[in-house]
Structure 1
């Protein structure tokens, strides 16, 4: 999508070539890969089979040696992603991450344990609108639609909300932040495994006492 600038017409013209190149590549023929493949460069030293650390070095596999039944099965699998029908289903360029983010936003504003009998549709529409636009911009657009004039102070606050939202998105994508999160997860897994082994050795009271002490230390003082 990004390479073709989301031009469906151009993608539709080259998609059959990519489909055929992929089919041949799986069968060991990389003649079309250099110009039509999405993942294989096609040269002897740069093709997918020689670059794979698992196929060639570990198992010395350079092609799948498919029979007619295997080719038919591969054909049906590739059609799920490299056919015109699959392309039409991805016209809006939606992906799994966007779907999950939208689902989380809807779950936060429309929890399953609360029944919004009157304003469910409104809350849903507002959530989707806020997800597609930044929070401040979404509020401005809705107020403008309702012919509501906002003060300069309110506009400044909404602008700062947009800047904070953009900063948080950029911050979460930083390499050092992602590395720190992964390190914390690794430490938590080590702690979990340690106390899991202690539980198996019938020393589970240690873990429970530590949890109680930590909970007591973090309790707010009234």
Structure 2
């Protein structure tokens, strides 16, 4: 699927592709959430299922009608498209087999799957909670008990 003369070249492109796919899925989700769904789970799942097929078409070089219809950030034209900077200049599309397409679709289901969308549909995160717990653990270490160290 990945062009390159040596195994190192292919692995480098593979890592870049993974980062690009992650970034694209995140941007598509954010635009879909802001423009279309805004927390409505069924609508979000429906729209993002079309976006997943559109992303695969875009990476295989068939960017056009599907991107115009379903993508939020790639319009499939010469001036407005999702740039694929991870690929070298001489090869701007991937040649995927059905197994490769299914693998990429499964990777996108990690972000666009119904279970994961149920967990993230409100755009919340646990970072504030984790930061508060770290603060508590720093100020109240677990190895110090008040009964043993302080008189009542």
TM interval, short-chain normalised: 0.5 to 0.7
1:12 and 2:45 correspond = yes
- Corresponding position of 1:60: 90
Runs of 5+ consecutive residues of structure 2 not aligned to the other structure: 1-32, 147-152
Per residue, is there more helix in 1 or in 2? 1
In 1, distance between residues paired with 2:45 and 2:98?
A: 27
Runs of 5+ consecutive residues of structure 1 not aligned to the other structure: 119-222
- Corresponding position of 1:212: none
2:58 to 25, 38, 47: 25
- Cα offset, 1:117, TM superposition: 7.3
- Corresponding position of 1:146: none
Tell me the TM-score normalized by structure 2: 0.59
- Seen in structure 2, the aligned counterparts of structure 1 residues 116 and 10 have a Cα distance that, compared at 3 Å, is farther
Larger of the two Rg values belongs to structure: 1
Using CA pairs under 8 Å that are at least 6 residues apart, name the structure with larger relative contact order, 1 or 2: 2
- Cα offset, 1:37, TM superposition: 1.4
How does 1:135-174 map onto structure 2 within 5 Å?
none
- Corresponding position of 2:20: none
1:113 and 2:146 correspond = no
In 2, distance between residues paired with 1:84 and 1:116?
A: 44
2:130 to 103, 107, 112: 103
- Seen in structure 2, the aligned counterparts of structure 1 residues 12 and 73 have a Cα distance that, compared at 3 Å, is closer
In 2, distance between residues paired with 1:113 and 1:18?
A: 47
Are the aligned partners of 2:75 and 2:81 in contact in 1 as well (CA < 8 Å)?
yes
- Cα offset, 1:116, TM superposition: 8.3
Tell me the TM-score normalized by structure 1: 0.43
- Cα offset, 1:54, TM superposition: 5.0
